């Protein structure tokens, strides 16, 4: 397992990044509040995403929560009285946090949410924007917007509906209930459930597998799947063609073929 020692901190240490061996890790680090996200944390999260995006050595990014009790317990409700108390304030608040989530939505590298403990509200938004969700058996999921009187926005609901379908989305939203990891797995909200003590190892294994595969082939899959999810009228078929051409003309494709024929492990460069 790589030594994740290269540490950079954002938002006064409440967001931390580590990098090693092609894997970047972003940790939500506010365990006393179950990693509830303040606006400063949303902004730090955006800075962390940008820095790992621009680091050529990073091929895949893992998102996780510190403290073992939560991935992210949602937006920091203690800030709401000042920053989200009515529609106008809420719009401004929404813009500032949505700008950071947009970075994740359009992220050019694969992302994995590694979920332990509570994954609620805005935490669900983050997890649903990641490409893949791996969760510990004891995790719990929910969107308590109806308990707080919050209108959960279009993007969050679009992702929820695309993962679990409209009926489960309605049940979760109307009741605000929390569901456990087994149920989340069954309805398609998470891709894999593992025993708590194996979560990090399993997540790293998937991240390392991704980071040793051909970056252009992964990029092609990521771009194409994103276009599949759009309405037909909004699809960028040229982007699919461009990445397809780059991939099939790449040195890595040559390396992949040769390594297979020579019965050895390929060494991909992303070119």
* Contact footprint for ligand COA (CB under 6 A): 33-34, 36, 69, 73-78, 118, 120-122, 144, 148, 150
Minimal distance in Å, beta carbon 48 to ligand COA? 20
Reading the block at residue 102, the tokens are: 């947009």
Cα separation, 204 vs 21, in Å, equals 11
Distance, CA of 175 to CA of 29 (rounded, Å) = 29
Q: Which is nearer to ligand COA, 42 or 118 (CB)?
A: 118
Give the residue among 204, 202, 196 at the shortest CA–CA distance from 19: 204
97 vs 211 by CB, closer to ligand COA: 97
Would you put residue 62 in left (φ > 0), alpha (ψ -120 to 50) or beta? beta
Report the residue number whose CB is nearest to ligand COA: 74
Q: How far is CA 104 from the centre of its chain?
A: 7
> Is the Cβ of residue 58 or residue 119 nearer to ligand COA in the bound state?
119
Nearer to ligand COA, 63 or 207 (CB): 63
Cβ of residue 178: shortest distance to ligand COA, in angstroms?
Answer: 8
Q: Residues 18, 50: contact at Cβ < 8 Å?
A: no
**For ligand COA, the closer CB: 69 or 219:** 69
Of 33 and 133, the one with the shorter C-beta distance to ligand COA is 33
Strand partners, 120: 142
CA atoms within 13 A on the CB side of 142: 18
What is the bridge-based pairing of β-strands 132-136 and 192-194? parallel
Q: Least distance to ligand COA from the beta carbon of 148, Å?
A: 6
Are 39 and 83 spatial neighbours (Cβ–Cβ below 8 Å)? yes
What tokens does 209 get? 């597998």
Residue 110, both tokens: 């694969």
Q: Which is nearer to ligand COA, 76 or 252 (CB)?
A: 76
């Amino acid at each position: 397992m790589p030594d994740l020692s290269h540490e950079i901190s954002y938002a006064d240490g409440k967001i931390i990044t580590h990098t090693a061996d092609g894997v970047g890790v972003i940790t939500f680090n506010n365990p006393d509040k179950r990693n509830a996200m303040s606006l400063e944390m949303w902004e730090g999260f955006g800075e962390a995403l940008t820095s790992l995006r621009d680091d050529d050595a990073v091929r895949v990014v893992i998102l996780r929560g510190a403290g073992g009790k939560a991935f992210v317990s949602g937006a920091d409700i203690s800030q709401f009285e000042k920053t989200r108390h009515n529609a106008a304030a809420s719009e401004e608040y929404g813009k500032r946090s949505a700008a950071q989530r947009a970075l994740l939505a359009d992220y050019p590298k694969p992302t994995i949410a590694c979920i332990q403990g509570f994954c609620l509200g805005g935490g669900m938004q983050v997890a649903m924007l990641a490409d893949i969700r791996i969760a510990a058996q004891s995790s719990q999921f929910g969107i308590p917007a109806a308990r707080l009187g919050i209108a959960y926005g279009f993007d969050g609901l679009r992702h929820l509906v695309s993962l679990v379908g409209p009926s489960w989305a309605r049940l979760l939203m109307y009741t605000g209930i929390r569901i456990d990891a087994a149920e989340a797995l069954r309805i398609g909200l998470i891709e894999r459930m593992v025993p708590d003590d194996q979560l990090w190892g399993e997540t790293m294994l998937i991240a390392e597998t991704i980071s040793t595969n051909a970056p252009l082939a992964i990029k092609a899959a990521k771009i194409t799947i994103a276009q599949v999810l759009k309405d037909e009228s909004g699809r960028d078929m040229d982007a699919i063609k461009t990445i397809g051409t780059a991939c099939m003309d790449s040195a890595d494709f040559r390396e992949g073929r040769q390594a297979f024929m020579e019965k050895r492990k390929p060494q991909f460069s992303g070119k």
